Structure 1
């Protein structure tokens, strides 16, 4: 490779020169700054450029060869390979790069010295790495007709927990599976729709966190502006989910439109309704599907977790 690599070797860092060099080369390959087929500089040339011993460079090249990242051929030099180890390196380093970009930006905002942060990071992994990677487990119990995908994502995002799902439609045939999941969970989460049923199922064996969702006020205003008698559909994964959506609108005082609750689990009924509908409001889980059926009539009906539910999930890790 003819282009001079912007590598650095700093004897004052607390990790070895060969580790510095190897990791910088892996970054260049992982970010496709060096691609399969590219030649690494000759060991002597790179050693002179960095002011280090040639044997150090040779050792790094050998380590990269042992990792399956480069090949070393006498008389030809050291070449980046086109193989699974390089593909894996690229797959891992790109999200790492995005993470480090954010960390560098935040470090700058907080006036933190980057090298100190990097060294402290290694010590952090040694001390707390295993502890930090152990996540609590929540068992989310819901029915298949509501937008359980929205709830599950929000539960994971706000609680930081690993989330397992169990659907009430699986009972009573899957009672053994339910008991297994319950035994593995640190707590249970359900929605207001099924709170009583889930409390009966779990008894006092696990803490049950009950959460609820609402809809954006601007969406209510939009629906309220529809002409009187407009034929409006509310669509979720199942009819019960559509009924929940319609009920939230009714409770807000919107009474002048004709409501229909539908689910994508009954595509024939949905297709029949779409032909004569004025508007169709679809939850996030089914929006793309409904949009393809009625592109000019379909509007996104996003759910928003209630603030009290957000706080409940955020506080879960503190319990």
Structure 2
């Protein structure tokens, strides 16, 4: 006998993305091996072989875990566990990150474009030296096969300092941790460090030339490109 009543509307169950499945497997490995904070994960090549995936695919899962603060990845030393979360906690943090991405991009577009324009107007010889030093740092990191996260951070800090705006600098400081998430995420994409470095050089050239409009436009294009991160969206 059929049950009468209003039919239930069922939606499709979203299939976990591959990097989410890999994150779960990595956490399973961490749990099985009873790894704790400060313990090192296997080398990327070995871990990819154990999981039966390419290193490129594994890298996506590792970037996601790094963005969420679960691991710390240092060039040449591999991934170190920061803390051991449950998968439920990890997925919740992942969704929270995804939801705030548009707001982070909006804030960066608003603040950093203005900062670049002000830097072109107000930069001193010392400011230009700091910008050049940041470019050299990032170039060295990228040449060594690293992502250039530290050099990237130094460059944007140098631009902020060159703008000589205490209030804007304070606002940038307020969102710095959120920007770090997107920085790691963006520079973890194949070929992205080289693209970002080239964009930084164009921004620096406009600032050095004292061209506020060009500096603002170059920064705007840069923020637009680095915000195109399909991994965690």
TM bin (shorter chain): under 0.3
Which is helix-richer, 1 or 2?
A: 2
TM-score when normalising by structure 2: 0.28
Name which structure has the greater RCO, CA cutoff 8 Å, separation 6+: 2
Which is strand-richer, 1 or 2?
A: 1
TM-score when normalising by structure 1: 0.22
Compare CA radii of gyration and give the structure with the larger one: 1
